[in-house]
Chains A and B, each alone.
Chain A
Amino acid sequence: MSIASVFDIALVSLILAIGASTILVRTAFAAVVMFAVYGLLLSIAWVRLHAVDVALTEAAIGGGMTGLLLLGAAARSRSDDVDRVRVGYPVRLAAGALCALVVAGLAIAVFHPPAAVPTLAPTVMENLPPSGLGNPVAGVLFVFRALDTLLEKVVVLLALLGVWSLAPDRAWGGTPGLQVYAKPDPTLIFLAQLLPPVGIVFGIYMCWVGAKDPGGAFQGGTVLAAMWLLVIVAGLQKAPAISRLWLRVLLVTGPVLFLVIGLAGWVFADAFLAYPAGYAKPLIVAVEGALTLSIAVALGMLAAGPPERAQQQ
């Protein structure tokens, strides 16, 4: 057995064990920590499967961002007596049945693979050169399936508005609370001063390199959002009031630029969301840059939660 396969078996066992303990631990807080670890391990598994783009997304969104959101939810519910609510047997039974259904479906598919696995990967590589992109994932996201990518960004905006809508009416337009996190201590403040310059450069690099290599707007945006949140949590900066015009403008900048370029494609390239010959790469990089900014702001505000304090006049 090679070292690689020993590593893989160990990794898979660890993922299963962490997955099981996510269900078995008693408190919501412990479950969330397990879930974040699970996400990180899963991203290593994606690297082993040579899907680096997926690995980056899993680490950034699956483990990192989702973990942070769940952590916020766990902290909020700790103040109430949600932990005391016991899940009844019918619900457990239903959840178990559902999981069994999904596992059975996946098992059927895995044990009966088609004789020749059809794939679009060669077709993607053939059609990639005109766009000037080097990363086939970016090609799929911004050239071949640009409509999906554009609308997914709208979904993120709707999710944010959905979170904001949970605010009490008197706090509308005010600032998110973020009170659920720990009180800032010297170590946190030191980290919040040290990390952001590095993180911002890294986030911008991830966005920039996405056209050629694994990376892209979502991953870069998440890193930027993490840096912003660190500064807010450490108390060095306040979360902005949700009624601020600059905040709203930043949120829509990415989707608006994407849409405008898409509509311009109608005039200059004969189809909605088509790029004129020779201009594809600069346009896509511009869209990715704007999207990175919008995603960073949206994710940061999502984690900050609904407004809780009315804006000071």
Chain B
Amino acid sequence: MPATTVPDATTADGALLVLAIVLPVVGILLSFVLGGRCAERIAGVLLPAGLGVACIVFLKVWQGGEPLIYTVGGWQPPLGITLRADGLSVAMMVAMAIVICLIGVFAHANFGSRAASIETRAPLVFWVMLMAISGAMNMIFIGGDLFTLYVALELLTFAAVPLVCLDGRAETLQAALRYLLFALLGSILYLIGTALLYGSYGTLDIVLMSQRVHLEPATLAAATLMTVGLFAKTALFPLHLWLPPAHAGAPAAASAVLSAVVVKGSFFLIVRLWFDVMPGLLSVAASQLIGVLGASAIICGNIVALRQKRLKLLIAYSTVAQIGYLFLMFPLAFSADPLHLQYGDALTGGMLQAISHATAKAAMFMAAGLVYAALGHDQISELGGIARALPMTMFAFGLGGLCLIGLPPTGGFLAKWLLLEATIATGQWWWAIVITAGGLLTSAYIFIVLSRAMGPPSAPLTLHAAVPKYQEVAALGLALLSVMLGLVALGPIDVLQVGRPEAPMVQLR
């Protein structure tokens, strides 16, 4: 057992972490008072400011090679709460802040409220919830305490669910209700697990707990409950039932934020749990089981996506499949010899998959939203001619698709390449088959959509509405990001390892 170290003290620039959480909270409170007409302007200032903070934090951690730490209220853990930004945190923070900002640009067309004379419903709700999601995600990334992370999960849930039924149609209400039930279930399971862990170790701080944690029945029970709960929130197969109707029914900007950003929050907590709170406690059998769930998600999600008739549903089922890839990192990271865990490739690949899926999927949902706006429907069989009418939009969709398939030089390529390398390094060839087959299935449905879109229209195409250029640019910007993500291999990819222990400890007592 390693020597118990003194809890971390606030580092220089640690105060930036407080800003990352406080800025969105200020935005929420201000919007409540000033009303929906000002909400967009408030978000327009605070979301870019949040991106700025995230970038500065990223640079500090990357260049310093040390995590940033802030002790809230001056109370050290176990009594107080610590905010901690390590490599994983800052990479996700920056990526999600960029995606959220571009979604904000895109959403101006649908939720712009500057010209309105009185407050209207959808703009107020959308902008407040978007700021809440950005704050909640930051908190999930830098929270150093299991209960603080629970509060962040709650913030995320209550911000995400209303977005599903923002347009108020009956079927979206039903989808939102189903999402709410799954999400609350996840929250309560996470909370029970947290209570059990506190009862066993007398702390909620992640670092302190990782020094004390050992294999015992209560710990395993807690970990199982928390993991299952977070699976439900992340929509891992077979707990994905809520996702397709919720993500496909929401307005395009909301779908983008739900699919690209929100599911990554609970996924990140699963990573925190098994890599940081209880490193080395995940048994090989359990990690293989998680891998099987991920593989089933990839295969089933892709096959169901192939059979969809509506574009938005296709993209939603593709999210179910892409989430599967995220969970392949568990069997690859926790392979046979627990004393020599090969974290590097699997963890980097998994996080990169999360980030590149975020950018690509946001771009694709935006593109689908624009297609819907232009045609008045999103039937895949009647997309003919749309590529000629909206070339930039379909280009964005195609680039996002390339990233999902995993063609070089996209981020998806690099992520899947790292995962494949890990399968070879650990001798688990069976996951390589799943990764490759998933890529093939993905390319099938992307090409179906693209070939329909590039084909001739069955009847002369009449566009319902003109699509604003900046919306197309926002979608294309995200798609280009997902393509260029592959280039991070040449640059800041090593930031992910900042603050990671050299070799994870296993304590079998």
A binding-site residues for B, Cβ under 8 Å:
98, 101-102, 104-106, 108-109, 111-114, 117-120, 123-124, 127, 143-148, 150-152, 154-155, 157-159, 161-162, 164-169, 172-173, 243, 245, 248-249, 251-252, 255-256, 259, 263, 265-266, 269-274
Contacts and interface: CB of A to CB of B under 8 A. Distances in A.
Contacts of B10: 271
A127 B79 contact: yes
Contacts, number: 177
Contacts of A248: 32-33, 35
B75 interface: yes
A177 to B, nearest CB: 16
B283 interface: no
Interface of B: 10, 15, 18, 21-22, 25-26, 28-29, 32-33, 35, 70-75, 78-81, 118-122, 124-125, 128-129, 132, 139, 147-148, 151-152, 154-155, 158-159, 161-162, 165-166, 168, 173, 185, 189, 192-193, 196, 199-203, 216-218, 220-222, 224-225, 228
22 contacts: A112-B216, A118-B202, A145-B148, A146-B72, A146-B73, A147-B72, A148-B81, A148-B147, A151-B139, A152-B154, A155-B155, A158-B132, A158-B159, A161-B124, A162-B161, A164-B125, A169-B120, A243-B118, A259-B25, A263-B22, A265-B73, A269-B74
Nearest to A256: B29
A166, A265, A272 interface centre (most CB from chain B within 10 Å): A272
Contacts of A112: 216-218
A102 to B, nearest CB: 7
B75 A151 contact: no
B79 A147 contact: no
A114 B218 CA distance: 9
Contacts of A151: 21, 25, 139, 151-152, 155
| 10 A-B pairs with the lowest CB-CB distances in the bound complex, closest first | A118-B202, A105-B221, A271-B74, A162-B162, A158-B158, A109-B218, A172-B121, A273-B73, A108-B221, A112-B217
Contacts of A266: 15, 18
Contacts of A106: 192, 196, 221
B258 to A, nearest CB: 14
Given A114-B200, A157-B32, A145 B192 contact: no
Contacts of B18: 266, 272
A109 B221 contact: yes
A272 B74 CA distance: 8
Contacts of A270: 74
A124, A165, A270 interface centre (most CB from chain B within 10 Å): A165
Nearest to B154: A155
Given A256-B29, A271-B10, 10 more contacts: A98-B185, A102-B189, A109-B196, A144-B73, A146-B72, A147-B21, A161-B162, A162-B158, A172-B120, A274-B75
Instruction: Classify the secondary structure of B's interface with A.
Output: helix
Nearest to A173: B119
A172 B202 CA distance: 47
Contacts of B193: 105
A150 to B, nearest CB: 8
A274 to B, nearest CB: 5
B156 to A, nearest CB: 10
B121 A165 contact: yes
A166 B173 contact: yes
A165 B78 contact: no
Contacts of B158: 155, 158-159, 162
B165 A166 contact: yes
Contacts of B129: 158, 161
A103 B494 CA distance: 43
B120 A145 contact: no
A145 B80 contact: yes
A145 B121 CA distance: 34
Contacts of A150: 25
A166 B81 CA distance: 36
B33 A249 contact: yes
A272 B73 contact: yes
B132 A154 contact: yes
B119 to A, nearest CB: 6
A60 B168 CA distance: 32
Contacts of A104: 221
A269 B71 CA distance: 13
B326 to A, nearest CB: 23
B121, B128, B152 interface centre (most CB from chain A within 10 Å): B121
A111 B217 CA distance: 9
Nearest to B25: A154
